[in-house]
Homo-oligomer: A and B are copies of this chain.
Amino acid sequence: MKTLVSSPAREVVIADGQPTVLIGERLNPAGKKSLIEALKKQDAEFIRQEARAQVAAGADILDINVGVFGLDEAALLPEIVKIVTATTDVPLCLDSHNAAALEAALKICPGHPLVNSVTGEEGSLSRVLPLVKEHDCPVVALVQDGNGLPGSAAQRVAVAAKIIERAEKAGIPREKIIVDPLAGAVGADPGAVQVALETIRRLKTDFGVNITLGASNVSFGMPERGLINSVFISMAIAAGATCLIVDVARVRQTILAADLLLGYDKHARRFISDFRKRTLPGTLPKQPDH
Note all chain B residues with C-beta closer than 8 A to A134.
none
Cα–Cα, bound, A235→B260 (Å): 13
**Residue from B193, B261, B287 within 8 A of A186 (CB atoms):** B261
Asked if A262 is at the interface (CB within 8 A of a chain B CB), the reply is yes
> Given A33-B289, A187-B268, A253-B227, is A235 in contact with B222 using a C-beta cutoff of 8 Å?
no
Docked pose: A258 CA to B203 CA in angstroms: 23
Copies in the complex: 2
Contacts of A32 in B (CB 8 A): 289-290
Given A238-B239, A263-B193, A257–B289 Cβ distance below 8 Å? no
Question: Is A275's CB within 8 Å of the partner chain B?
Answer: yes
User: Does A96 lie at the interface of the complex (its beta carbon under 8 Å from any beta carbon of B)?
Assistant: no
Check if A180 is an interface residue, CB within 8 A of chain B: no
Interface members, chain A 240-261 (any B CB < 8 Å):
247, 250, 253-254, 257-258, 260-261
The smallest beta-carbon distance between A190 and chain B, in angstroms, is 4
Closest 7 CB pairs of A and B: A234-B234, A235-B238, A190-B263, A231-B257, A231-B234, A193-B261, A223-B275
